[in-house]
Structure 1
Amino acid sequence: MTDVINGVVQQTVDHTFQIKGGMVTLMVLELLYIDYRRFEQELTKKVSSAPNLFNETPIIISLEKLQHPSEYLDFERLIETCRRHGIVPIAVRGGSDVQSQQAQVLGLGRIPGMLRSSAESSEQQVMRSVESNDSNQELEPQARNDQAAIETNEAEFHATKIIRQPVRSGQRVYARGGDLIVLAAVGAGAEVLADGNIHIYGPLRGRAIAGIEDKDNAHIFCQSLEASLVSIGGVYMLDEDMRANHWKGSVHIHLDNENLHIEKL
């Protein structure tokens, strides 16, 4: 809708909101087994180690690794415990239909599970099917087209995003489907993310989150480690934990047995 005021055409808004897709980094709390007393003890210890990080922080509760998936969960108790410690659960990922309904009654959203094991199982079935065929058989035209599409998708995944200017406080840069290279500094309060590796050719003072889609092969490299947080595949480390190990040094960070390791370059 447009209005003309004093001979000037002005655009007016004729709706109250708009919905857009976006990428927001959220922490995930993965429940492994249910012990409410121990849960509160461990949560208290975790929050006290980084009080500035857990300050009205939204979080997703993941039930995908729960030892007994069909176990009854006292969501009200879990949510109340989290909120008392400055953590605000906003959704549940995975879990049974009953657990999802329990969470929805308390106002939590529902996020489907990752289903990685099912995908791997399907892939194995496909491989067995392929192996049962004649390996020397020539691909049909359609099969060749499908193969070309697969190679194109793989090339897209390994695309690299290069940033030549500093990433300043409040800015977020995400390399979807590949690696991120920053040829400058990442300032305090900035955030850089990548589905693959992250390379910082300057001081890293903000947050660096790598391996969003490929945690097993993801690495973080930087010329000066001064980050407030680094994370690979959901496993994170805060500055309090990094200061005693190559702080302000040129480092390589990688994931090994679900633990982050920092090595000097």
Structure 2
Amino acid sequence: MTSTNLDYEQAGELKIGQVGIANLRVRTLDVAQLSREMRERVERAPKLFGRAPVIVDFGGLAQMPDVATAKALLDGLRGAGVLPVGLSYGSRETEQLAEKLGLPLLAKFRAQYEPVAAAAPPPAPARRESVTAAEAAPAKAPSKAPPAAIAGSPGLVQKTPVRSGQQLYAENRDLTVLTTVGAGAEVIADGSIHIYGTLRGRALAGAQGNTDARIFCREFHAELVAIAGHYKVLDDVPKELRGKAVQIWLERGPDKQDQLMFAAQ
């Protein structure tokens, strides 16, 4: 098994948030290393990351990069196989850099996801920014804590299979799928996710940053699982867990970083 746990040795920390969009928080401004790490991610999971939109977040750096360096990074990421679509909002300097690069400013993670079947899409906040898994906020406003699940609110129960191309979201509650989640399908919950069948698609629990959320499934073949933005793709998971009943949760490691943990049930 190849170890791919993110730690402070890596130049960039990738988290999953808005559906199909990832947030790359730059820890070390090393264009070559960041491009190499992204290329390795694309090679490991081409269906997930190949030509995937990515938001670049320079908020973890002591100093904003100059335009030439930022352009070199964007070119390196494109060469690695992903598509930078914007910068994560942070400061006035970030806004100025985004203008010079011709990119929009976006929040790290979006406020909510669209349900699979809704009568109408939810209204957009007045200054809403799009977006990826976990750590979200609106433009030019202080970051807000993830909303707590409504006390006593019932979980969302999906009785029919979630098929390829579908997306199911349980806002401020748990999600229970009584059947299967097919390859190419995506289930998302602000709380925990319970799947009483096979998980072949993607499952994102704790979508608003709830680190206590968990994922349970009867038969594990997931393309990707994430809790509060911390994710793993199938190739990162021990092979002996494939096809088994699995529980997934976050645990604080000795480096004081949350890590995804897996256990057979």
Note the C-alpha offset of 1:103: 1.8
Secondary structure of 1:77's counterpart equals helix
Partner amino acid for 1:108?
L
Structure 1 runs of 4+ aligned residues shifted over 3 Å read 112-120
The answer to whether structure 1 residue 37 and structure 2 residue 32 are counterparts is yes
Deviations along 1:205-239, one digit per CA (max 9) or x if unpaired, are 11111111133111100000011111111111111
Bigger helix fraction: 1
**Could you tell me how far apart the structure 2 residues matched to 1:166 and 1:51 are?**
25
Structure 1 residue 32, shift from structure 2 partner: 1.3
- Which of 51, 72, 77 lines up with 2:65 in the alignment? 72
Alpha-carbon shift at residue 77 of structure 1 (Å):
1.0
TM-score normalised to structure 2 length:
0.71
Is the aligned partner of 1:215 residue 2:196? no
Q: Alignment length, in residue pairs?
A: 210
Match of 1:10 in 2: none
- CA-based RMSD: 2.6
In 2, Cα distance between the equivalents of 1:190 and 1:119? 29
Unaligned stretches of 5+ in structure 2?
1-17, 109-135, 253-257
* Contact in 1 for aligned 2:58/2:64 (Cα 8 Å): no
Shift, 1:107, TM fit: 2.6
5 Å-filtered alignment, 1:1-265, equals 24-64=19-59, 66-68=60-62, 70-73=63-66, 74-112=69-107, 114=136, 154-155=150-151, 158-242=153-237, 244-257=239-252, 258-265=258-265
Mapped to 2, the partners of 1:48 and 1:59 lie a distance apart of 16
What secondary structure, in the 3-state scheme, does the structure 2 residue paired with 1:249 have?
A: coil
Paired amino acid for 2:151 = A
Q: Is the 8 A contact 1:72 1:99 kept in 2?
A: no
TM-score (norm 1): 0.71
* Contact 1:245-1:262 within 8 A present in 2 as well: no
Specify the structure having the higher radius of gyration (Cα): 1
Which structure 1 residue ranges, 5 or more long, are not aligned?
1-22, 121-149
Deviation at 1:118, TM superposition (A): 6.3
- Conserved in 2, the CA contact under 8 Å of 1:182 and 1:199? yes
1: CA distance between counterparts of 2:240 and 2:56?
31
Partner in structure 1 of residue 115 of structure 2: none
* More off after superposition, 169-178 vs 103-112: 103-112
State the shift of 1:76 in Å: 0.7
Of all paired residues, the percent bearing the same amino acid is 35
8 A contact 2:55–2:85 mirrored in 1: yes
Determine which structure has greater relative contact order: mean sequence separation of CA pairs < 8 Å that are 6+ residues apart, divided by chain length. 2
Contact 2:227 2:250 in 1 (8 A): yes
Task: State the 1:190 CA deviation.
Answer: 0.8
2:107 & 2:223 partners in 1: Cα distance? 30
Report the 3-state secondary structure (helix = DSSP H, G, I; strand = E; otherwise coil) of the residue aligned with 1:91: strand
